[in-house]
Every structure is written in C-alpha cells, then in structure tokens.
Structure 1
Amino acid sequence: MTTSPESQAIAERQLCGLVNGLAQRIAEHVRERAATLGLTSAQATALREMSGPMTMRELAERMCCEPSNATFVVDKLEKQRLVERRPHPTDRRAKHLVLTVEGAALRERLLGLLALDSPLSALTAGDQRVLHGLLEQVVAGS
C-alpha cells in the first residue's frame, strides 16, 4: 500500500509538531529547574553536560551551540566559582574546563531536579530506549 504525497506531508508535519512540542517541554522544564538554582537555562545545560574535564569546543558540541556562546556561559560560571579553566594535559593551546567542588555539588542538585517530573518520565525506561534509538537513527540519516 502506497501513501499519497499529501498524506505523507501531513504525517510528517504532525510528527515534526510532536518532536517540536517535546523539545519545547524539555526546554521549559530545564528553564524552570535552572531558575530554582539561580541559573539560566544555558548555564544549567553547561553544568549538565560537564560530566568531566573537557575543552570549550567539546562543551559547545554537547550544548549544540557555537564555542563563542559556550565561552560566554562559562565566563559566567567561572565568575560564580563553579567552573575553572586549567591547562590541558596534552595540548598547550587548549584549556580544560573543570567543575569546582561547588560546581560539582550544584551539578548534582541540578541533575536531581531535572529528573523530577521530566517530560520523558511518562515513558518507561524501555520506551525511552526505543525513542532514543529512533531519534538517533533519524539524526544519523539512516
């Protein structure tokens, strides 16, 4: 059974609307949780993504933004003494971003808050894995 281009376009529009709606709900969730800690959503995203020492470029990739935007966010986090720039162990030209003790503690609080009532918590762990696999497949272009 083949579908018409019109019905295919409608189905794609509906799916795009759902994906966009989910992205908006996740962004709002992050914004609300970040605000309770006195952070912007960009600062919360940076802290969430800093699972270990990394370069600015690595952080920017994880945040899905330009390195200059990540630099602006890290500058603010550094002023709050949540992040430090340290010499990179193998590249003299690069700096490693490292969470301070305070930054690591705040990150843990943030992760706990983000887990509460997450828009994805309505899905079982298995459903989340399936959704992850499907989205990964689409993003990778397979």
Structure 2
Amino acid sequence: MATTSGNKTLTITKPACLIDGSDRAFRHLVNGLLPFAARLLSVRDGFGSLIGLTGVQYSLLRSISHLSQAGEVTVNQLGDHLHLSGPFVTIETNKLKELGLIEKKAHPEDKRKMRLTMTGPGSKLLGELLPVQQQINDVLFDGITRSEFKVLCSVVDRLVENGDRAALDLEHLKARRQKS
C-alpha cells in the first residue's frame, strides 16, 4: 500500500527526503538531476567528438590518464572506476589500442590481468583537449561554492551505489510481475 501524507501520495518515504511531510523537494531534485545527467553525457560525447572518439572512449582515455598517476591501471580497475563491465571495457580499450592511444600488456604477475598505459599520442590528444575541457567544466560548475562542491562529491558515490541497488531491485520486481 502506498504511503500518503494528507491527500497526497508520497513517491518516497525516507524521512530525510521529506520536507514538511511532502516529497515535492525530492521530485524537484530528481527532475533536476535527470536533465543534468543528460547534459553531462552530451558534454562527454562532445569532448569525445572533438578528438575523434566516442564519449565512452574519451572517458576511458581520460580515466586511464588520471588513474595512472596513482599507479598501474588494469581493465578491472577502469571498469570499477567508471561503473562499466569488464568485457565492455575490454572491447573499448582494444579500439583505443588500435588507434595507438593506449598500450595493453599482460600483467607480469598475473597474466589474466591487462595493464593499460597511455601512449604519447594519447597524452597529446588529451592535452590538446584540455583548454576546451577546462572552459566547459568551468561553465558546467559555475556558481558552485567549494563547500557545495565538497558536499556533492561526498554524496555522489553513495547515490551511484544506491542507484545500482535500486535498478537491481526494480529488475527483480519486474521479473516477479512477469511471472504472475
């Protein structure tokens, strides 16, 4: 049975997401996050197109560059970082390798793992994109204070994890309905 507040049906029952017994702010948040997510994907795709890649390939290349600053990068690490499956990352990084933007080599201690490294041309391509990326990201986050940014960073990982769980729960509910 749906939970209601007064005459209104609530779309969420978590007290932290209800203000004065209403889910209005929650719905406002979701209705704002959806177009923001779409715009983020559009920006990512635009960055990719500027350097002749898909948006996903751009994200993989940028993430390999970023993660390699802290040590070696494997296909599984990259998949975990971007919340993508290992097989998908393998397919897309093979394309980046064919383009000469990364190198893939078997890990010396565990031949099942593939180590990913940037090549000179890959680093050069990202370097050429950097001024445009900075300009667009500055516009994207214009007006956000440092404290707001810190809060956003602290919450986003939990939201992604919760989103994964919610999507799985929804799939189970859909499967149960189809069996009925």
Shift of 1:43: 0.6
Shift of 1:102: 1.1
Letter in 1 for 2:46: E
| Structure 1 residue runs of 4 or more that deviate by more than 6 Å after TM superposition | none
- Larger relative contact order (CA 8 Å, sep ≥ 6): 1
CA RMSD of aligned residues (A): 2.3
Q: 2-side partners of 1:114 and 1:30: how far apart? A: 9
Q: CA 1:45–1:117 in 2, change beyond 3 Å: closer, same or farther? A: same
8 Å contact from structure 1 (residues 29, 114) kept in 2? no
User: Which residue, 31, 39, 42 being the options, matches 1:17?
Assistant: 31
8 Å contact from structure 2 (residues 57, 92) kept in 1? yes
% identity of equivalent residues: 24
Q: 2-side partners of 1:122 and 1:28: how far apart? A: 20
Question: What do the CA deviations read for 1:51-101 (whole angstroms, capped 9, x no partner)?
Answer: 213111111112221111111211110111001112313323212011111
- Alignment length (residue pairs): 139
Letter in 2 for 1:40: T
Aligned to 2:13: none
Shift of 1:135: 2.9
Q: SS in structure 2 opposite 1:93?
A: coil
1:127 counterpart = 2:148: yes
TM-score calculated relative to the size of structure 1 = 0.82
8 Å contact from structure 2 (residues 50, 129) kept in 1? no
Letter in 2 for 1:132: C
Q: Please list every run of 5 or more consecutive structure 2 residues that lacks an aligned counterpart in the other structure.
A: 11-20, 163-180
Q: Which has the larger radius of gyration?
A: 2
1:74 counterpart = 2:93: yes
Letter in 1 for 2:148: D
Q: 2-side partners of 1:35 and 1:91: how far apart? A: 35
1:38 counterpart = 2:52: yes
Q: SS in structure 2 opposite 1:85?
A: strand
Q: Please list every run of 5 or more consecutive structure 1 residues that lacks an aligned counterpart in the other structure.
A: none
